Amino acid sequence: MSKKGKFQTPKGIHDILPKKQKYYRKVYQVCKKIADYYGFQEIYTPILEDRGVYEKGTGEGTDIVQKEMFKLKTKGGEKLALRPEGTPGIARAYIENGMSNWQTPVKLWYFGPFFRYEKPQAGRYRQFWQFGFEIIGQSDAAVDAELIQIFYNILRELRIEDLSIKINSIGDEECRPEYIEKLEEYFKENKKNLCKNCQKRLKDNVLRILDCKNKKCNKVKEDAPQIIDNLCDDCHEHFKKVLEFLDKTEVPYELDPYLVRGLDYYTRTVFEVFTGEEDEEEGQNALGGGGRYDKLIELFGGKETPATGMAGGVERIVEKLVDERLTFEEPEKARVFLAQIGETAKRETFDLLEEFRKKGIKVAESLGRNSLRPQLNIADKMEVDYTLILGKKEVVEDEIIIRNMKSGKQKKVKLSKVVSEMKKKLK
């Protein structure tokens, strides 16, 4: 509540007003079109999940779980969280709904609100929308490349330009532990030159030092061992193939040996999508990101099931949707206005509006007004072709007046015939 006693949205959380809806809808429509094309099925998972889904899935040591989760406890003692991201909920749903018996791969997509208790700033909110695409059941490198291409296609269809995709492989349980050891050793030797945050990360999250944007850390990173030189043969081969497949597409990608992503479940391919110039110190807000998560389903008690996915940040994308070449689906304009005078006529209006609606004719009204003049003024402003006028006398005589708004000419027709009459006139 504000000082004046008026309620406001919580910090970092915003209304999405009618003016903005068309942009959100556009992003949804483009996602849906592309999802349909590539054979993804839409899924809604709950906004509230067992907190453990994220603690175990996203990872106990991640910023998301440690600092950013909105947690709540029900009266019954259940420990829940508002979903901070979609992938762990999808893995839970995959197992809970027996999707391993569905035809492989299971391709799912979603669009909805997510919650992170972050420091609000441009492009960073506490409630934000994401679309996400997940392909479960395939380990082939081609699938990773396809997913990146899908993301690219969505953004291009939305006319977002100047896109760049950063990509890396973070290996698997075979090669990553050894790499982390090397990295730890290297950073320990250079501990003094790391920022405070990264000195802490040395203890529990060495990989994250790689994507620190601090100038001091950047300098240290320059000579750090790179994962690409430390991948096992299988991961190396997999990554090489992802890049080869990407070379077959128009996707503008660049290797980024420092890209590690802040979620624990990733294996092998990781990527992020950007637009525009990068700020060297601040880095940049990614429009989206994703990667492979071959161990997550197993971690949740399912069979060993490789998977890969990505999610886009809708607010950040909507902020870029200014291209005048974009077309939006506008709601159909009413060509007919129904004006009523008096209570008897008003009652009759309800049936009539329903009849028109069932026949697919959009009719505007102003049920809160009672006299004719203001209703005609509204009809004028709406630029309808016809106004139907219904008073007590007309109801008693089972008639209604049709007024041509251009010529001002009026005629009476039987009330029971008005829908078919209007259908003919509007052809």
- Positions in the binding site for ligand HAM (CB under 6 A): 85-87, 116, 118, 123-125, 128, 130, 132, 134, 286-291, 293, 309-311, 313, 315-316
For residues 264 and 315, which CB has a smaller minimum distance to ligand HAM in the complex?
Answer: 315
Least distance to ligand HAM from the beta carbon of 190, Å? 28
Is 167:266 a contact under the CB 8 Å cutoff?
Answer: no
For residues 45 and 375, which CB has a smaller minimum distance to ligand HAM in the complex?
Answer: 45
Is 260:170 a contact under the CB 8 Å cutoff?
Answer: yes
d(CA 177, CA 182): 9
For residues 143 and 334, which CB has a smaller minimum distance to ligand HAM in the complex?
Answer: 143
For residues 187 and 265, which CB has a smaller minimum distance to ligand HAM in the complex?
Answer: 265
Least distance to ligand HAM from the beta carbon of 293, Å? 6
Pairing mode, if any, of strands 363-365 and 127-136? unpaired
Residue 93's alpha-carbon distances to 44, 46, 90, 299, 332, in angstroms, are 10, 10, 5, 14, 38
10: CB partners within 8 A, 6+ apart: 126
For residues 315 and 365, which CB has a smaller minimum distance to ligand HAM in the complex?
Answer: 315
Q: Which amino acid is at 260?
A: V
- Which residue's Cβ lies closest to ligand HAM? 313
Least distance to ligand HAM from the beta carbon of 269, Å? 10
For residues 124 and 392, which CB has a smaller minimum distance to ligand HAM in the complex?
Answer: 124
291: CB partners within 8 A, 6+ apart: 144, 170, 261, 266, 267, 268, 269, 270, 271, 308, 309, 310
Least distance to ligand HAM from the beta carbon of 271, Å? 9
Least distance to ligand HAM from the beta carbon of 118, Å? 5
Least distance to ligand HAM from the beta carbon of 273, Å? 7
Is 388:339 a contact under the CB 8 Å cutoff?
Answer: yes
For residues 313 and 391, which CB has a smaller minimum distance to ligand HAM in the complex?
Answer: 313
> In 3D, which of 256, 44, 33 has the Cα closest to residue 150?
33
Query: Tokens for 54?
Result: 């994220």
Residue 388's alpha-carbon distances to 40, 392, 404, in angstroms, are 46, 14, 9
Task: Specify whether the backbone of 19 is left (phi greater than 0), alpha (psi in -120 to 50) or beta.
Answer: alpha
d(CA 307, CA 106): 9
Least distance to ligand HAM from the beta carbon of 159, Å? 18
Least distance to ligand HAM from the beta carbon of 261, Å? 7
Map residue 242 onto helix, strand or coil: helix
For residues 201 and 316, which CB has a smaller minimum distance to ligand HAM in the complex?
Answer: 316
For residues 251 and 352, which CB has a smaller minimum distance to ligand HAM in the complex?
Answer: 251
419: CB partners within 8 A, 6+ apart: 352, 355, 356, 359, 361
Is 387:379 a contact under the CB 8 Å cutoff?
Answer: yes
For residues 114 and 386, which CB has a smaller minimum distance to ligand HAM in the complex?
Answer: 114
Least distance to ligand HAM from the beta carbon of 319, Å? 10
> In 3D, which of 332, 385, 330, 402 has the Cα closest to residue 362?
332
For residues 312 and 391, which CB has a smaller minimum distance to ligand HAM in the complex?
Answer: 312
d(CA 190, CA 188): 5
Angle between helices 343-358 and 418-426 (to 10 degrees): 50
Least distance to ligand HAM from the beta carbon of 127, Å? 8
Least distance to ligand HAM from the beta carbon of 218, Å? 21
